[in-house]
Amino acid sequence: MFLRLVHGVADGNLNELPDLYGEVTDVRHPMATPESEPLTSRRVLREHFTVPPEVRESLPKRRVVDVVVHETADPEVIVAEFAYEFTSPDDSTAKVPCVFVMRVRDGEIIESRDYIDPIRTYTARGDLDLLIGALRKGASWPRALSAAP
């Protein structure tokens, strides 16, 4: 489930991702900047993963690298370390470290804490000005991303 999620994000297959989650779920991005609300249902996740085509096309390529999955004492829970490696149009790369703590039950993600470095993410996407503008306006994530020109 974890690998399908992160590779789906990296490959831009966002429409398929809500189906990986339970109808009722609890997904949080504790490091999100600007701050974000918990994602508590598959319907809310569908909205979360909806990115306008013009924004999606402008995003740099990325791939999943450095994956390490740790099993825990709870068989439903994993801790996964990885990075998204972004490639910009000039072929330079930037890594964004991530840690996901995920609970999967009956083949569906029902809980996740997704720790993603927000400054490196915006920088890797070339959206640092967008982040600064969103912070000034008090916009919440992911609206900051979908507001990209």
Tell me: the pLDDT tens digits for 21-51? 999 999 999 998 878 899 999 999 999 999 8
CB atoms within 10 A of CB 144: 23
What's the whole-model pTM score? 0.84
Tell me: the pLDDT tens digits for 60-96? 889 999 999 999 999 999 999 999 999 987 888 999 9
Q: Hey, what domains does the chain have and what are their CATH numbers?
A: 2-146 (3.10.450.50)
Residue 26's contacts (CB-CB under 8 Å, 6 or more residues apart) are: 38, 39, 40, 110, 111, 112
